[in-house]
Structure 1
Amino acid sequence: MKRSIAATKFYVPAPRRGFVARPRLREKLRLGAESGLTLVSAPAGFGKTALLADWLAEAAGPDRCVAWLSLDPADSEPAAFWSCVATSLRSAVPGVGSAALELIASTPLATELVLTSLVNDLAAVPRDVWLVLDDYHAVDGHGVGTGMASFLEHLSPQVHVVLSTRSDPDLPLSRWRVSGELVEIRAADLRFTPDETAAYLNDVAGLDLGAGQVSTLDERTEGWIAALQLAALSLRGRDDVEGFIERFAGNDRYIVDYLVEEVLERQPDAVRSFLLHTAVLDRLTGPLCDAVTGRSGGGGMLVTLERANLFVIPLDDHREWYRYHHLFADVLRGRLLSEEPGRIPLLHQRASHWHESQGHLEDAVRHALAGRDFDRAARLVELAVPVLRRSRQDAVLFGWLKALPDAAIRRSAVLSVFYGGMLMAAGELSGVEQRFDDAERALAGAERSLPGREPASTEPAGVDPSVDPSVDPSVDPEELGMLPATIAMYRASLAQAMGDVAGTTAHARKALDLAGPNHHFARGAAGAFLGLAAWAQGDVPGALETFTLAVTSLRAAGNLLDELSSTVILADMWQVAGRSGEAHRICELALQQAETQGESLVRASAELHVALSEICRQAGDLSAALEHLEAAAAFVAKGPMTESRYRWYVATALVAQDEGNPDGAISYLDQAEQLFRPGFFPDVRPIPAIKARVWIRQGKFSTAATWARAAGVAAADSVSYMQEYSHLTLVRLLMAQERAEPESGAAGGVIDLLDRLLASAAASGRAGSVVEIHMLQALAHHVLGHRREAQEALGAALTGSPEPDQYVRLFLDEGAPMLELLRGAAGEANSVGTHDGGAAARAQRVLTAGAGPQTEPRQSQSPRPEPSQSGERPPSYVDPLSERELQVLRLLGSELSGPEIARALFISHNTLRTHTKHIFTKLGVTSRRSAVGRAHDRGLL
């Protein structure tokens, strides 16, 4: 279910009848076409909306698209705001905004990805696009403002944004003003001039006032349009016009209350009552007004109010939906609160009932909450749960649940279990188990109470204490029947997130026992958790078998999205099993299937592209890895990636590292950490450990050592699969420290740790881990001076996998020490006699993939690095040029300028400078000409 948003929020208001022409302001608005942002900022009642409506009608044409959005406080959360913006754009410009709406449905909201999607969609529109955000002050805040600033910074030239607001937004207006990117219309511009005041009072309002009277009102109001409009209403039919004008004080802070009182008091009782009682509504239509007031004739009353200019604004061309002027509505609500405070909840409850009868579920819930009818609101949310869950509208459900009192949630088995699931998905693990306990207690009460439950009343009323609120007849009994298995499934997920493998297994088995034979989704999810538990224990063959069966159940349930997303997990398992080729195959097949479904499976497509990028990178194919990342980035902007969203940033970081940009890699990993939530999958590759590997390659050993202390890893630890990645990172750190200071003895316990890790990996069938451990054993023996043992371990690493070509980056990432070992294996394999020519051929292929033979031979002992000013030691080796650096190097030998090279490679000029700096460092030169010459000498060009 897509987020339900009133269509009337997106109607461009029709020009007001008798609108006073204001060519000077139209010209300022026209200048907005030459800037990215037009700001219309003034207090309430200065005619901002009316001006924009008149201008848009006058400037309409086939060469522009106009997206209008009327904002209110309900849109102040970032998810709600960007959902409204995307919906507005989609309604005005075909093809824009649909992808962003899919992404917004995820939890937590990935604002950066939403903005990327919208900016990219708008960049592809060939016509001018105007996005008008009316009443922006209602949503302005840090949460929305930060994203809005980024959105405006990245818009293409043909896109123009107009903000209409009562106060200046939290945006970098000063900077944009200096750079000429901002057109401003403020209160001083909007104030009526004396001529405009006269035109309004006499020509529009028909008051026939004298020049002196007009001048007095103009001076007293200082051109404030709302005050003039209210004054005109009060003056109609008044005998003492001169006296009223003399007493009128436009700068009196109570003037609005005074004039509205004048207006209200002059209305018949029926009109006054209608105005007050319908003030609780954001939008008005005849039948809704009838339901709220308890009377008939609401549609006719709205037409009467519009004709009388009683601050009623039509929202569509058919005069079916209206709203009150915001200033007028505020005063009406204040008057209602003062006169009839006890009636307000009833009015909201009646509105909720009407909206429910019309299928406007979101409005029904909102009014039920405003009317403090929390049991009804809880029932309405229960009704929505199946649809919301199927369509992955978790953000909407989570928002409703947070607005409900805790007691109302605890009384509902359905709401308790899914609230626990929402909290867990948001990374808020504390208290989640209590929610599942509440669900089980409520479920027990529901099963006892279901047969004798009375039907719910159709008219708002107090809660009947004789009725057990733990169950509602609106809840599908079959849904209740599935809840025990669902609760067990969520408990398995919680145990997984907490690292409790035994608990994960126990709860998953319970879910399997509780799920019926035809509840394929429950059986598939439970089976998946059993597979994940086996994976967390390092039993990869068992995990593969169990998880594959779980995916089959998901397929039987018709849940294609989860089936294809689960392929990514299977691919991870196959890689650990040493079968990267199989991982690549199943991801390619799943991606083909996802792409045939179009935008409905963008999330699965994104996840599969990321997985393929990681596989290709490991095989040394950086070009393919980049292509998949770029494709994934486009999909990320179109659809949510839930808990695995962070993996795109991790994969991008690893490619950045391979391209010689470690700082960029750390930046991407920082973003990945912000997105990461402990959840459904074992955290077998912790992001802090990945960052530590980058620091080690940079020579930042003390920074990496700080990570090791924080992670609590040491060479004497007992080994487990969940700690394997961290232990192998520690091994790299200790060896790097040993190279930097051979007398330190830092690598003393490395061999024993690797032996224990190898035994564990071999016993559990983790062939991929075995290859990596053998490789690190070779490096450890090398740094300790054990030449023969190093070559033996390297031979085992090179020949121990049926798919050796899938591990190119594993070897190349270790830099100069590994290159030295590989050269030895390639040239000395037969003479050493410890492994055959297969190892030599495989070593040569790795060297070729890394341009190893094209680089100058290095000394067998790297020079001891000098400490840097920061206290860190620089790396004791230099990486070979990456594929991207080779591309840059080739163009450095051309006649192209720097900016032209950047454009040819589709990168920024700053990125080009970074690549050039790395090339100069690696080649030991300081100019383009020297770099090209040195590259020719080494056979790189």
Structure 2
Amino acid sequence: MSQSANVGAQQRGDIAQRSHRCGIIRAMPASTASDLATFALAKIQPPHPRTDLIERPVLEQALGMALLRSRLTTLVAPAGYGKTAALTRQLRQLPEDCAWAWVSADEDDHLPRFIACLSAALECYDLPWRVSPDALSTLTQGPSGLRAAATELVNALASAEAPRGVIVVDDAHRIADPKVFELLQWMLEWLPAHWSLVIASRIEPPLPLARWRAAGELSEFRQRELSFSEDDVAALLVHAATGAHDAPTVAQLMERTNGWPAGLRLTLAARADTGMAAGRSAALPQRHMFDYLATEVLDGMPKVLRDFLLSCSVLPELTAPRCAQVSGRDDAPALLEEIERRGLFVSVLEADEPTLRLHDLFRDFLEHRLQRERPTELPLLLERAAAFEPDAARAIGHLARAGAWPAATQALLDRGPMLLAAGGVGLDDMLTMLPAEAFDSSPDLHLLKGLSLLMNFRLDAALIALHRASTGFVQAGRPREATASRAYASLTQVSLGMLPAAEAELALLRADELDPSSRALVCYGCIWVAYAHGRGEDAAPLYAEMLEALEKVPVLRAWNQVFFQSRLTGFPGLAPLMERFARSALAITSDTPSRLRAGVYYTRAVTALGAGRIDDASDCLQSADEDCRWLGSPRSVLIESRSVHVLVQALRGDSAASRAMADAAVADMRLNEMLNYRLTHGFETGFTILRAAWVLGEEASIRAANADLQAGVNPAEYPTALDVRRFGQAMIAVLDGHLALAASLLEPLAGEVEWTAYFPATQALVTLADVQVQSGQLDAAAVTLRPWLAAAQRGERLGGALLAGPRAIARLARTDWGSRLTRPEVETLRLLQGIGVAARGEGECTLPLSQQLSLQPAARREDLSGLAGLSQRELEVLRCIAAGDSNKLIARAFDLSPHTVKRHVANILNKLAVNTRGQAAARWRHIDPGTDSRY
């Protein structure tokens, strides 16, 4: 290794040590790298400060002050004005306890990719995320999603322990997705006072700069500030040891380059390498001058180095293995050292292995020269680059440029399942890179596209893609894949309300020989067909068959596809099967948040609601909501969450919370992309809102919700919508005193078998009994109640009865039943009233303990004084936080994933109502003053 290379390596080591002391570790751990395969880690690694940079005290003082004081700093100038170099030098001069994150933008940086880069760049600071960083992109897909994602980012930054933080977005002119700048604008609105944003770009970023300028919170560096002054040029000549650095030479260089840093550096390099005369480029504009000077430099290089640079110009970053792969040269490490020694428009990145990045101007020049001199070689070089590229978007982009569509297709198919499992972020953009012809010959691509569309509730388009996948697999002689595509298509048809077609197809599939995963999916579809028709009694045999198939494939992917189940709770025979499912599902998910685990908790919440255990239902909801939030609140989980919340909050008497959830559900349903889902399922949301208003006794809301429900008739909705609307009409009849009409509407709906979600048959039965009592028909009311009373004395069917509302329950409990009901039956009615009163916080249930045994909430853990609500694992994590352990050390101590630790930290902060890890640690030390702490 050359002496210059040795010096560079030593400086890299010095800066790595200094970064370590500041908590700035740019090299990502292996486990994190695998999780972040959607972008190249080099994008969040700032260039190493160049050893040949001269001091520019005027610029450095102004820029340093801006980074420490301004909310927003912009560096806007054409290429070659040293924006990146100025920033990387200045970052190293910040105080040691200053935090900073770097993102180098690329042309393919859509919003999800940018968010992934930013959150990964902040990884080393152990920010207390309330949402998984990987799920922030999912969060952006909901209503006001950009604001929600910005809020989470800002909250995490506000909780950072560093006294000052800087976020740098370099090469922002490359960003084509306007949503990225919208996100940055929201972040700027709420950015904590100790954080600042820096944007380097060739063009002014599309942000409301005038507002920040007027407020005195914007520092701007443009071409004038970034250009070299005569003093800078003189210092450059001295540093370059070119000989002449007298005033005439400085003036001549200033006249010809106008202080353009790129032109100055290339002029000096060209003089040194070729001895060219200074005046030969005087009349050329900047870009042409760069090409001219770069030609002089390139042609003056040894042929081996010149060819190597041309071949490797297709790479965004240069490492020895990648360059060897692309160029086919075993001496790539030595050649990279020579490139670094020459220092010509190349930056050194802080990475696990020596990594160089060519300046845009120089890389563009090299690629242009490559296409001109060796056009037939470019596609091959791009394919080689793709083969060694972990960044999926870059790899597919390389192959698309090369026109290597079969290879691009295969690369997407190889990485597609992983992207789907991670929420499908960025997958649609990669699919659009491929031409239509690629889909024509690939049913796998149609399946991937269909599943991606299905995750985003674009149901019509998903169904088309899945049908094409099925047809293609049949033609290719791949029956197993064809069956899976047909099963997914049938499930999509169920969601679209195309029940006859779905039912016929699912029946055919179920009769076939199926692998366990496909059988589980088919049975799951059949269950929802039964649900849609109100045939709750058909669910248990299908569920048992689904569960037996799943138990043969205990992997998350298979179980995750059937996670949504809470609306089935209460159907006959399902309770033991659903608990069996829950135990296995929780064992599979372990301590990892997932849609499956959230689904289990929501199902348990509804189960607890059904048994009248409202406190337990709330606890299960809290656990489910923690997972839902951590996952970025995906719409498929939110739909379940909001429905259960609307009812549970109503039973607790919290009108504001119930209404907030109802409004959120309605707003979500009104989104354009939810049209198909709304047509099929809108009546269910309306019915849930109506029932909550009924429990709360809000007459105006009842009438408004029923009017919306009655007006929403459409051909795509499930047959049970007819019974739902009858129920709404019955409620209005009760309000208007038309009791005979109400009874006639309720009688067909009341019974022992539930016919849709959240126990409407039980609610209808108890409401019918109340109507009969109001009509003076006590004998009929006793007959109506008796089957329910037998179940209630076993602790069953209580939640549906509570949904009949406190007025009805109180009336039934106060009625003088005489000999029509036994004393235990009357006490059960009073107990039901007491449960409702306790749930609303209006008193306690005072009946004998013997009458409450089956209705008691599950035993709760004794609270540790001052740390109420924390689980045992959260207490263990808090103890480690108080001892000063990082997330990585905690993960290692308990054999947890880093993201699981982050989730525990977020839960701790939420439950303790604190903002930072340090504040949480202080709370622990108040309980245990003997804790050894570094906070």
Alignment partner, residue 699 of structure 1: 700
Find the aligned partners of 2:410 and 2:244 in 1 and give their Cα distance. Answer: 58
Matched, 1:550 2:546: yes
**Structure 1 residue 281: deviation in Å?**
2.3
Distance 1:669 1:205 in 2: 70
- Cα distance, 1:692 vs structure 2: 5.8
- CA shift, 1:215, in A, is 3.8
**What SS is found at the alignment partner of 1:493?**
helix
Equivalent residue of 1:133, what SS? strand
Match of 2:764 among 756, 768, 773: 773
Q: CA deviation at 1:371?
A: 0.9
Alpha-carbon distance in 2 for matches of 1:59, 1:154: 23
Give the alignment of 1:266-415 within 5 angstroms: 274-286=308-320, 288-289=322-323, 291-293=325-327, 297-316=331-350, 320-334=354-368, 336=370, 344-352=378-386, 354-355=387-388, 363-384=394-415, 391-392=421-422, 394-395=424-425, 397-415=427-445
Deviations 1:632-675 (A, max 9, x none): 44423433656223333444555666523266334422454358
- Give the Cα separation in 1 of the matches to 2:213 and 2:578: 51
Match of 1:100 among 133, 139, 161: 133
Alpha-carbon distance between aligned partners in 1 of 2:828 and 2:129, rounded to the nearest angstrom:
54
Q: Give CA deviations for 1:807-858 in whole Å, capped at 9, x if unaligned.
A: 77767777xxx54444432322335957852464145325523669889xxx
CA shift, 1:363, in A, is 4.6
Residue among 167, 171, 183 paired with 1:147: 183
Cα deviations by residue, 1:271-307 (Å, 9 ceiling, x for unpaired):
5555444333222334544554566754444433333
Report whether the alignment pairs 1:135 with 2:171.
yes
Asked if the contact 1:117/1:637 (under 8 Å) is kept, the reply is no
Residues 74 and 259 of structure 1: is their aligned pair in 2 closer, same or farther, counting only changes over 3 Å?
same
| Counterpart pick for 2:488 among 490, 495, 507 | 490
TM-score by length of 1: 0.72
SS in structure 2 of the partner of residue 607 of structure 1: helix
- Letter in structure 2 aligned against 1:369: A
Q: Does the C-alpha gap of structure 1 residues 269 and 689 become closer, same or farther in structure 2, counting only changes over 3 Å? A: farther
Aligned-partner Cα distance in 2 for 1:789–1:493: 46
Residue in 1 that maps onto 2:817: 830
Sort the Cα spacing of 1:98 and 1:844 in 2 relative to 1 into closer, same or farther, 3 A.
closer
- Contact between 2:102 and 2:168, CA under 8 Å: does it hold in 1? yes
Report the secondary structure of 1:508's partner residue.
helix
> Which letter maps to 1:575?
G
**Which residue of the partner structure matches residue 654 of structure 2?**
659
Q: Which amino acid aligns with 2:200?
A: S
Q: Is the 8 A contact 1:292 1:347 kept in 2?
A: yes
* Of 101, 112, 130, the match for 1:79: 112
1:486: how far off?
1.6
TM-aligned CA distance change 1:133 to 1:806, over 3 Å: farther
| Aligned pairs for 1:461-476 within 5 A | none
Verify the 8 A CA contact 1:105 1:395 in the aligned structure 2. Answer: yes
| SS of residue matched to 1:132 | strand
Decide whether the 8 Å contact of 2:317 with 2:357 is kept in 1.
yes
1:251-275 superposed Cα distances (whole Å, 9 cap, x missing partner): x675544544554565566655554
Matched, 1:802 2:798: no
Q: How far apart, CA to CA, are the structure 2 residues paired with 1:487 and 1:339? A: 48
Tell me if structure 2 keeps the 8 A contact 1:578–1:766.
no
Q: Give the distance between the partners of 1:100 and 1:755, measured in 2 at CA.
A: 51
Query: What secondary structure, in the 3-state scheme, does the structure 2 residue paired with 1:192 have?
Result: coil
Aligned to 2:502: 504
Query: What's the Cα RMSD here?
Result: 4.9
1:728 aligns with 2:727: yes
Alignment partner for residue 841 of structure 1, among 827, 830, 843?
Answer: 830
**Which residue does 2:746 correspond to in 1?**
754
Residue 16 of structure 1 deviates from its aligned partner by 0.7
SS of match in other structure, 2:631 = coil
Q: Check whether the contact 1:3–1:396 (CA below 8 A) recurs between aligned residues.
A: no
Select the structure with the greater relative contact order (CA < 8 A; seq sep ≥ 6). Answer: 2
Q: Distance in 2 between matches of 1:852 and 1:350?
A: 67
Q: Which runs of 5+ in 1 are unaligned?
A: 448-479, 740-744, 856-902, 909-941
The residue aligned with 2:598 is 606
Aligned-residue offset at 1:706: 5.9
Tell which deviates more after alignment, 403-412 or 276-285: 276-285
Give CA-to-partner distance per residue, 1:604-636, whole Å, 9 cap, x none. 333344445555667777766555555444423
Tell whether the 8 Å contact from 2:108 to 2:393 is kept in structure 1 after alignment.
no
Mapped pair 1:163 → 2:163: no
Q: Which amino acid aligns with 1:606?
A: A
Cα deviation, 1:16-61, whole Å, max 9, x if unaligned, reads: 1122224553564355455665444444323222122222333373
Partners of 2:488 and 2:215 lie apart in 1 by: 53
109-118 vs 657-666, which deviates more? 109-118
Question: Structure 1 residues 175, 620: closer, same or farther in 2, change over 3 A?
Answer: farther
Distance 1:207 1:690, change over 3 A: farther
Q: Are 2:512 and 1:523 aligned?
A: no
Query: How much does 1:326 deviate?
Result: 1.6
CA distance in 2, matches of 1:694, 1:285: 61
Per-residue Cα deviation, 1:565-608 (whole angstroms, up to 9, x for no partner):
85651x4323355998x79967985786477x223x44333334
Q: Cα 1:766–1:604, aligned 2, differ >3 Å: closer, same or farther?
A: closer
Q: Is the 8 A contact 1:197 1:214 kept in 2?
A: yes
Contact 1:521 1:559 in 2 (8 A): no
Q: How far apart in 2 are the matches of 1:80 and 1:730?
A: 50
Question: 1:534 aligns to what?
Answer: 530
Whole-angstrom distance in 2 between the partners of 1:188 and 1:795: 86
Q: In structure 2, what is the Cα distance between the partners aligned to 1:123 and 1:689? A: 41
1:58 aligns with 93
Per-residue deviation, residues 175-213 of structure 1 (Å, max 9, x unmatched) = 555666655544444333432232224424746333244
Distance 1:328 1:853, change over 3 A: closer
Residue 757 of structure 1 aligns with an amino acid whose one-letter code is: L
Aligned residues: 801
Q: Return 427-436 or 233-242, whichever deviates more.
A: 233-242
Change (3 A) 1:425 1:574: same
Residue of 20, 27, 31 corresponding to 2:54: 20
Give the match for residue 419 of structure 1.
Answer: 449
Query: Does the 8 Å CA contact 2:767/2:808 hold for their aligned counterparts?
Result: no
Alignment-mate amino acid for residue 57 of structure 1: R
8 Å CA contact 1:692–1:707 kept in 2: the answer is no
Deviation per CA, 1:102-151, whole angstroms, max 9, x where unpaired?
66589968767766665565555434554433223322633223333444
State whether residues 643 and 677 of structure 1, in contact with CA within 8 Å, keep that contact through their aligned partners in structure 2.
no
Cα distance between partner residues in 2 of 1:319 and 1:578: 60
Deviation string, structure 1 residues 401-434 (Cα, Å, up to 9, x no partner)? 3322222223123333333333333323335455
- Residue 713 to residue 300, structure 1, CA distance change in 2 (3 Å): closer
**Structure 2 alignment gaps of length 5 or more:** 1-33, 845-909, 916-935
Counterpart-to-counterpart distance in 1, 2:841 and 2:422 = 49
- For 1:923, the equivalent position in structure 2 comes to none
Query: Contact 1:115–1:147 (CA<8 Å) still a contact in 2?
Result: yes
**One-letter code of the match for 1:49?**
T
Whole-Å separation in 2 of the counterparts to 1:156 and 1:628: 34
3-state SS of the aligned residue for 1:380?
helix
